[in-house]
Amino acid sequence: MEAVAKLRNCPMSPRKMRLVVDNIRGKGVSQAINLLKFTNKEAAVWLQKVVVSAISNWENKLEMAYSADDYDLFIKTAYVDPGTVLKRFQPAPQGRANRIRKRQNHVTIVVENKVPLPE
């Protein structure tokens, strides 16, 4: 059984977020949270919230009958898509204007259990 958590319109460029997402893809959930806790990037703070949310979604999907610790949850898929780009202008020399692109991204995390659920 798998569960999904999404973070939409995160105010960070997708390229910076992908650096951290690539580190946790395919790892166990507890190992991924440990990696994110000690990663010195702003993206790690956002991703830690998404991973915890995915774990909670997995438990709620099964109506609290099972605990995530007993079934070896791992991050099945994790990817970052670009979001909307806010375009701003900043004055430049000689009356020109430079465009500043404030990028956003969407993060999707899918967790799944390795140990099969009893029926």
Q: What is the CATH number of the domain that holds 33?
A: 3.90.470.10
Report pLDDT for 116: 82
Q: Is residue 107 part of a domain?
A: yes
Q: Is residue 119 part of a domain?
A: no
pLDDT range class, residue 64, cuts 50, 70, 90: low
Secondary structure (3-state) at 47: helix
Report pLDDT for 36: 97
Secondary structure (3-state) at 116: coil
Rounded distance between C-alpha atoms, residue 53 and residue 43, angstroms: 16
Report pLDDT for 13: 96
- Bridge partners (DSSP) of residue 86 are 102
Mean pLDDT in residue range 21-41: 96
Mean pLDDT in residue range 55-59: 92
Question: Is the pLDDT score of 65 beyond 80?
Answer: no
Residue 47, phi-psi category: left (phi > 0), alpha (psi -120 to 50), beta (remainder): alpha
What range does the domain containing 56 cover?
Answer: 2-113
Higher pLDDT, 66 or 37: 37
Question: Is the pLDDT score of 53 beyond 90?
Answer: yes
Which of 85, 48, 71 minimizes the C-alpha distance to 117? 71
How many domains does the chain divide into? 1
Helix (H) or strand (E) holding 110: strand 97-113
Non-local CB neighbours of 49 within 8 Å, separated by 6+ positions: 7
Mean pLDDT in residue range 92-102: 97
Q: Is residue 11 part of a domain?
A: yes
Rounded distance between C-alpha atoms, residue 39 and residue 36, angstroms: 5
Non-local CB neighbours of 23 within 8 Å, separated by 6+ positions: 35, 39
